[in-house]
Amino acid sequence: MFSPEQENISPSSTSSSKVPVKYGELMVLGYNGSLPNGDRGRRKSRFSLSRRPKANGVRPSTVHAACTAQAAKAISNKDQHSISYTLSRGQTVVVEYTHDNNTDMFQIGRSTESPIDFVVTDTVAGSQSNSDTQSVQSTISRFACRVMCQRTPPYTARIYAAGFDSSKNIFLGEKAAKWKTCDGQMDGLTTNGVLVMHPRHGFTEDSKPGVWREISVCGNVFTLRETRSAQQRGKMVRHSLTHTHTHTHTHTHTHTHTHTHTHTHTQGKMVRDTHRARW
């Protein structure tokens, strides 16, 4: 995911430059380019995704299929990323994640905790004030999703549902859809989901809405569920829509006074987080 002016930049030329490679941008649309209270820290209308000084990406490694001491240690260890899949009250599968030197990770969500790189909050309807919406349940998850960018050309970016919290954990409860994949790994969907749409004709004057798909915790693509919180997943879509090579944009708009949709645009792709609560 790189901007057009960087297409012909070689790794050797970027290593000698002090300007980091820019993978792309996340943009909040709907505020005419600026937030009502202005850009403040990680809560702003535009966020650049640039190659980090040191890779912070992660990838799945060890799977603990039982509540063992190693699984408990992985969850409690604040230096260890892990995802816990609760199958029942007495059974939880824990997947450890190990450091990946080849990727950079960026996280998006409503939380202002340090793991979130880009803070996105609900859109306040024109007739409402911030105080009016404090009692309304947020439609954006605290740890909504994460974007993984390859540190070398072609700088491919992929989006995954759910983000790691301050303890580097992701928890999928009993009510969340989850399953074991053919290669023995676990995967799942967040309660309200992260959706992707690939506009026909790309982002041009001739753009037409495409088909909405759902992204899983492991970045796989599925058709939509019958309802947003259904435990039965849709059918897997073999042609992945989770990666791109250009700018990324985030679009937030108000659907009703209490429904806010967050859209993430990639090249010919649009992602929507319709969370109404943390999963």
Strands of 81-88's sheet in order across: 57-64, 91-100, 81-88, 169-172
Q: How far apart are CA 273 and CA 255, in angstroms?
A: 13
Find the mean pLDDT for residues 35-43.
Answer: 65
pLDDT attached to residue 227: 85
Find the mean pLDDT for residues 263-275.
Answer: 41
Return the higher-pLDDT residue of 85 and 134.
85
Residue 32's identity, in one-letter code, is N
Copy the structure tokens of residue 127.
């007739």
pLDDT digits (tens, 9 = 90+) for 44-103: 778 889 999 999 999 999 999 877 788 888 888 889 999 999 998 888 999 999 999 999
> Per the domain annotation, does 160 fall within a domain?
yes
pLDDT attached to residue 271: 47
> Per the domain annotation, does 246 fall within a domain?
no
> Per the domain annotation, does 76 fall within a domain?
yes
> Per the domain annotation, does 116 fall within a domain?
yes
Q: How far apart are CA 72 and CA 64, in angstroms?
A: 9
Copy the structure tokens of residue 52.
């980090």
> Per the domain annotation, does 183 fall within a domain?
yes
Under 8 Å between Cβ of 146 and 83: no
Share of the chain above pLDDT 90, in %: 41
Domain that holds residue 95: 22-121+139-188
Overall number of domains in the chain: 1
Q: How far apart are CA 189 and CA 179, in angstroms?
A: 9
Return the higher-pLDDT residue of 266 and 56.
56
Q: How far apart are CA 85 and CA 87, in angstroms?
A: 6
Residue 215's identity, in one-letter code, is I
> Under 8 Å CB-to-CB from 137, ≥6 apart: which residues?
258, 276, 277
User: What b-and-e string marks burial along 154-179, b requiring 16 or more CB atoms within 10 Å of the CB?
Assistant: ebbbbbbbbbbbebbbbbbeeebbbe
